[in-house]
Amino acid sequence: MPPVQLSREILLPALAAHVLEHGLGGASLRPLAKAAGTSDRMLIYHFGNKETLITELLGYIAAMYSGALDAMLGDDRPTTRQECLARIMAAGSDPAMQAFLVLWWDIVAGAARGLPGYRAAAGAMMTKQLAWLEGQMPAGDPDPAGGARYLMTLIEGTLMLSAVGHEDTAREGLLAGGLLAT
Amino acid sequence: MPPVQLSREILLPALAAHVLEHGLGGASLRPLAKAAGTSDRMLIYHFGNKETLITELLGYIAAMYSGALDAMLGDDRPTTRQECLARIMAAGSDPAMQAFLVLWWDIVAGAARGLPGYRAAAGAMMTKQLAWLEGQMPAGDPDPAGGARYLMTLIEGTLMLSAVGHEDTAREGLLAGGLLAT
DNA sequence: AGGGCTATGTAGCAGTCGCTACAAGAGGAA
DNA sequence: TTCCTCTTGTAGCGACTGCTACATAGCCCT
- For residue range B83-137, list pLDDT tens digits in order: 999 988 888 888 888 999 999 999 999 999 999 999 999 999 999 999 999 999 9
Contacts A166 to B, Cβ<8 Å: 123, 126-127, 130
**Interface test with chain B among A129, A160, A174, A179, by most B beta carbons within 10 Å:** A160
pLDDT at B10 > cutoff 60: yes
- pLDDT reported for residue A8: 86
- pLDDT reported for residue B2: 42
pLDDT at B57 > cutoff 80: yes
Report mean pLDDT in 10-residue bins for chain A, 182 residues: 66 97 96 97 97 98 93 84 91 88 98 96 97 93 96 98 98 96 80
Q: Measure the CA–CA gap between A43 and B163, rounded to whole angstroms.
A: 30
Contacts A175 to B, Cβ<8 Å: 146
Nearest CA to A137 out of A174, A173, A171, A88 is that of A88
Mean pLDDT of the B63-79 span:
87
Q: How far is the CA of B40 from the C1' of D12 (A)?
A: 14
For residue A7, give the amino acid letter. S
Which stretches of chain A are DSSP H helices? 3-22, 29-35, 40-47, 50-72, 81-92, 95-113, 118-136, 144-163, 167-176
Average per-residue pLDDT in chain B? 93
pLDDT at B182 > cutoff 80: no
Q: How far is the CA of B114 from the C1' of C25 (A)?
A: 43
- pLDDT reported for residue B8: 87
For residue B23, give the amino acid letter. G
Residues 101-130 of B with CB under 8 A from A: 101-102, 104-109, 111-113, 119, 122-123, 126-127, 130
Which H helix or E strand runs over B158? helix B144-163
Looking at chain A, which residue has its C-alpha nearest residue B180?
Answer: A150
